[in-house]
Amino acid sequence: MIMKEIKYKLNKNKAIISKADKGNSTVVVYLDDYNRKVNEFISSNNFTTVNANIAKTLQKELRNAINECQNVIQKSKKWKLVNLNPMAPTMRGLIKVHKEGTPIRPLINWRNAPGYKLAQALVRKLTSYIALPFAYNIKNTVQLMDDLIEIPQGQYMKFASFDISSMYSNIPTGELMTILNEICNANDVDGKTTQKILRITQTLVNQNYFQLQDTIYIQNEGLAMGAPMSSILSEVYLQHMENTTIHELLKKQN
């Protein structure tokens, strides 16, 4: 009875219930405000629209990539990596109640996307083929506090915290492919396997699109939001930057 009353009041006031981006809380927001926040996100990013669902075209590209990468993907398992009834990834927004203006964070569901299963397989392959150093990473806040305690503290020491805005969409994918090639070589991955990994990665990176209501958007830059492989690929890029740029800065200080 209570739920029916809540739904009635939401419909009457043209409001929706949305999960907040952080804090495990729930937000009630007017539908007009929610749509405005979503449209602001769309207009402030480098997206283009297409007139038709491109899932079938991307499905064909995936099949071609799988067929060309038999030494990385077992022939008996290749069709298990294809979504038989692909659909465009769908987007919804989570309200950032901790940010000024309460913008949205896009949440894109890739589960029915053409490349979902292949992206999961790529993550497993990258994990097995390349060893990331994690030289500047921490496991949790406890390790952070332990590390900070060991640093000699002076009167003029300052602690700075930096955040990456829209990390996935800001990863330069062209540079990423070069870095991934270098890392494979450094981990003694043979040339043929490396080229197949790059082939699969490039195919998945190109499938960077999503659907919002009845419109299909193509993300022209960066990694696909919500895609299974975007996390490890962004880690590859960030750790490369840490172990080159930061390393050079430390050398200059010494």
Question: Rounded distance, CA 89 to CA 54, Å?
Answer: 11
Count of positions (residues) in the chain = 254
2-16, 17-31, 227-241 — which is least confidently predicted? 2-16
Token code pair at residue 162: 């930096």
Considering the entire predicted model, what is its pTM? Answer: 0.84
Q: Where are the chain's structural domains?
A: 2-253
Q: What would the pLDDT profile of 44-90 be if each residue is shown by its tens digit?
A: 888 999 877 788 888 899 999 998 888 888 777 778 888 888 889 99
147: Cβ contacts below 8 Å, ≥ 6 apart? 138
The model's confidence at residue 17, banded by pLDDT at 50, 70 and 90, is: confident
How many Å apart are CA 14 and CA 235, to the nearest integer? 41
- What is the distance between the alpha carbons of residues 21 and 97, in angstroms, rounded to a whole number? 7
Q: Which residues pair with 18 in a beta bridge?
A: 27
| Helix (H), strand (E) at residue 179 | helix 173-186
Confidence category of residue 8, pLDDT binned at 50, 70, 90: very low
List % helix, strand, coil for the chain (3-state, nearest 5).
50, 15, 35
